[in-house]
Amino acid sequence: MSVTTPAAGHVNPVLRTAPAPSAEAAAYFRASLAFHTDVSDVAAALAVGGEPGFVLVDCRSTESWDQGHVPGAVHLPTALVPEQAGELLDPAVPVVTYCWGPGCNGAARAALALAELGYRVKEMLGGFEYWAREGFEFETWQGVERRAADPLTVPVDAADCGC
């Protein structure tokens, strides 16, 4: 791949700020993976059966939980984490939080509250929105549902996006 020099006076919006040196970038992305997971990885871990090695926490309201949640998730609204985490979660088991979707920071706030209580925690990127959009089963107050996968979120080979 060749790199061309932009015309004089042109500011490349992608490279307006120089990329970090590779060692700093590696440290940042390594840290990011320590704090985040994605819907597909959570689904794969849950599909294996048995204990996945973490507990999945839906930190949304009861109304949202009733609309749909990941099977096997624990319902613990963000505001109730300080009061109820000790009753619902084992501090020895890592926690993965999720909320509605990418436009919501409830999972990050719940993860922060849990971390401050001493839990090891990650956030599931994409939240319930992407769980449903990727075509995974979910539970509602009416039973189990599954929607057709959104072709913009699911790779051609649904088993492996190649990343």
Categorize the per-residue pLDDT at 155 as very low, low, confident or very high, splitting at 50, 70 and 90.
low
What's the pTM value of the predicted model, to 2 decimals? 0.86
**74 within a domain of the structure (yes/no):** yes
Q: Considering the domain boundaries, does residue 131 fall inside one?
A: yes
User: Is residue 161, in this structure, part of any structural domain at all?
Assistant: no
Q: Is pLDDT of 7 > 70?
A: no
Distance CA 31, CA 149 (A): 30
Query: Does any domain span residue 94?
Result: yes
Q: What are phi and psi of 103, to 5 degrees?
A: -85, 5
Please write the tens of the pLDDT for every residue from 69-121. 999 999 999 999 999 999 999 999 999 999 999 999 999 999 999 999 999 99
Strands (E), the chain: 36-38, 55-58, 74-75, 95-98, 121-125, 138-140, 143-145
Return the exposure string of 62-97: e unless at least 16 CB atoms fall within 10 Å of the residue's CB, then b: eebbeebbbeebbbbbbeebeeebeeebeeeebbbb
* 41 within some domain: yes
Contacts 24+ apart (CB under 8 A), 117-121: 117/81, 117/82, 117/85, 117/86, 117/91, 118/91, 119/85, 119/89, 119/91, 119/94, 119/95, 120/94, 120/95, 121/94, 121/95, 121/96, 121/97
138 domain residue, yes or no: yes
Domain of 54, in residue numbers = 37-145
* 141: in domain: yes
**Cα 78 to Cα 114: distance, rounded to the nearest angstrom:** 9
pLDDT tens readout for residues 17-70? 888 899 999 999 999 999 999 999 999 999 998 889 999 999 999 999 999 999
| CATH number of the domain that residue 79 is part of | 3.40.250.10
Q: Residue 5 has what pLDDT?
A: 62
Count of structural domains within the chain: 1
